[in-house]
Amino acid sequence: MPGQVKLVRKANTPSGATPLRLAGQKNRVWPADGFDRAILRLRAVLAVENLKHGVRVRAIRATAEAVGCCPRTLYAWRERYLRKGFAGLLRVPRSDRGRFKTIGERGIAAIADAVPDIRAWGDVASAWRLSGLRCSYGSYRFWVRTIQHRLKVIEMPVREEDDFAVLL
């Protein structure tokens, strides 16, 4: 049943931490402190769940203040609880966990080498694909623009109305 939680002991965990595994999800394990936070969220959601709308708004404000979060956060917890049950209240590990969050000096150098070849808008995307860097397109584009600005490279050409008339 979705949302059920089983306690699982692993040999490589510290003595005070008991990891949790959700039934039906073999690859995800949550630490015990995340379970405590999820219990707090569950108590906050259940405190306001069965109230009528007019009363619920005031109760959510009061409960959010008592828990130490904003009312919007409590609404988000409630929505996740209604959709996924208790599993929705557990904190999910980031999908990019263990990957570099920055480009690094080698990446910046590779981008700087590619900047002179970038002359049109589509060249940024193709240069990003060819670079093989493990960064997002937005980060790559940001660094291209920053390096162009600092090197005072001629900006991308702006299409004028006459160019469109010729193409039509």
Query: Does the predicted model carry a pTM greater than 0.75?
Result: no
Give the start-to-end residue ranges of the domains of the chain.
5-89, 105-151
In total, the chain counts a number of residues equal to 168
DSSP letter at 101 equals: S
Three-class SS of 23-65: CCCCCCEECHHHHHHHHHHHHHHHHHHCCCHHHHHHHHHHHHH
pLDDT of residue 73: 93
Q: How far apart are CA 111 and CA 28, in angstroms?
A: 36
Q: Which pLDDT tens digit goes with each residue over 41-85?
A: 998 899 888 888 888 889 999 998 888 889 999 999 999 999 999
Q: How far apart are CA 2 and CA 85, in angstroms?
A: 7
Q: How far apart are CA 162 and CA 16, in angstroms?
A: 72
- Cα 14 to the center of its chain, rounded Å: 28
